Structures are given as C-alpha cells and as structure tokens.
Amino acid sequence: MNKTIIAAVAIIATVAGVWVAKNRPSKPPSPTATYATTSTVADEPQALSEVLIPFSLPDMAGNKHNLNEWRGQVIVLNFWATWCPPCREEIPMFIALHEDYKDKGLSIIGVAIDQRDAVEDYRDTLHISYSILIDEGGTMPIIMHQYGNFAGVLPYSVIIDRDGKIQNRKLGAYTREELEPMIKNLL
C-alpha cells in the first residue's frame, strides 16, 4: 500500500514538473517591458522591498503603462493567468470591489502572465472593468520575485497604499471577506 502511494505521488510530481516546464514562458523578456534593475531585487526574504517597485508593461490595447501612474491610489496588484483556476475564482470578486471602490481611490491592476488572445477572450467574457497589463515577454517572474513571490505561484497579489508602501502580500486567491477590510482601512 505504501509503495503504491509513493509511486502515485512520484508520477503526479513528474507530470506536474513536465507541465510547469512546458507552460513557462520560453521567450526572453520583451524589449518593451522594463523592470527595476537597482537594489530592489529581493534575493532573500529579508531583502524584500516594502515599497512599490515600478515596472512598465503594455495594456490590452498595446499602450505602455508604468505602475507609478497609479501612485496616490490604493493598488491591488494581481498577477494571474487564464489557465489558473484560483485566479479565475477571484477575478469576479476583483471586478465587484473595483466597481464598489474605484471612485474612492482603489485601482485594481491585473498583470496577466498569458497569451494576449486568451486574456482578451477572458476579459470580454467576464467584462473585466479594471486595468489589465500583459506580460507576453516573460518579465513577470523577475518582478514577482522582487515583490516577494519566490515560488512563482499564481495568483499572487500585493496591496500597496496611497504612499506606495506595501501593506500585504498573498500567494493564492483572496476572498472578499479578507480583502475588503484591508482596502477599506487604506482608502
């Protein structure tokens, strides 16, 4: 019985490893994407940045945006992909929070680590109303690492206050019950 369980776990781990290897971006970072290149690189958890780390990516229309454009707002920076089930689960909640609090200073910024066509289809299907930036060039693993996501797990969210200070980070999906009080306290 134990040998069967060990063999099953080994097979699952192998399949998962092959899937991750095949689904990682294979392209080098896009020349149009920029990211922090100074001492904000967080190689160790104790070196983790406590402030907004600016980077630039295009939106769905191809217009380049820098995260600094949202300074002065409460930012929910959410790294996600269409193929990620927990990401898909939390997006309707982000849409609702955006609608409820956008006029009070909340900006939700989705950073899609995915193919543009898939993101466009998903955005149109769900009627995502908040800003979506797209990383087709493979830059985001570096940025997520700088923001504290050392495992490269999705979804990953960072809550940034109006002064650009990081207030919270989370690997995995948020629920409205845990995220909304944080947002209200920062608005």
pLDDT in tens, 124-154: 999 999 999 998 778 788 888 888 898 888 9
DSSP conformational letter for 161: -
* Domain boundaries defined on the chain: 29-186
Chain centre to alpha carbon of residue 68 = 16
What pLDDT score was predicted for residue 173? 95
Q: Give the global pTM.
A: 0.73
Report the CATH fold assignment for 29-186.
Answer: Glutaredoxin (3.40.30)
What pLDDT score was predicted for residue 3? 66
Integer Cα distance of 98 and 92 in angstroms = 10
pLDDT over threshold 80, residue 44: no
pLDDT over threshold 60, residue 73: yes
Q: β-strand 156-160 against 166-171: which pairing, if any?
A: antiparallel
At 159, list the tokens: 């809550």
